[in-house]
Amino acid sequence: MTVVSEMPETHPADLSRVDQAALVRCVEECVACAQACTACADACLSEPDDQLPMLRKCIRSCADCADICGTAGRVLSRHTEYDATIVRALLEACATACKTCGDECAQHAGHHEHCRVCAEVCRKCEQACRDLLASLG
């Protein structure tokens, strides 16, 4: 059992309105994606200078995705006075950021292993966000 899966079980409020398995998976994927995107952007910045012009969009996409995923993971970890409208909008934004970043990183995956890994993590997070959204109805 991970801390992410354990915390909802310890919450005093009734969290039955949310699919707990989908929630836990989404928080875990958001945290992993934020880390992977941060690391990928950093790795892109460490590539040789002649590579940087073609990696600018990738760096920006990774930075944006990391920020959005990190925020989503934190917001999804809060259950008191749950606001479904905010959660839905955030999940949509997170899925969109993950798709955009995943698509961009996939373009560089053949030359940069960090981009390949990041693209895969982005795809998993995008799917987790969409799965949680679907469970919310």
Neighbours of 13 (CB within 10 A): 11
- Domain 19-136: give its CATH architecture: Up-down Bundle (1.20)
Contacts of residue 41, Cβ cutoff 8 Å, sequence gap at least 6 = 58, 59, 62, 63, 66
Contact 66, 100 (CB under 8 A): no
Contacts of 68 (CB under 8 A, 6+ apart): 93, 94, 97
Burial level of 1, CB count in 10 A (0-12/13-18/19+)?
A: exposed
**pLDDT for position 12:** 60
Quote the pTM value. Answer: 0.91
Angle subtended at Cα 133 by Cα 132 and Cα 137, rounded to the nearest 5 degrees = 110
Q: How far apart are CA 38 and CA 35, in angstroms?
A: 5
The dihedral region occupied by 28, where left means phi > 0, alpha psi between -120 and 50, and beta the remainder, is alpha
> Residue 16's pLDDT is what?
64
Give every residue of the chain whose pLDDT is below 70, as ranges: 1, 6-12, 14-16
pLDDT for the residue numbered 137: 74
Predicted pLDDT of residue 70:
98
pLDDT at 14: 65
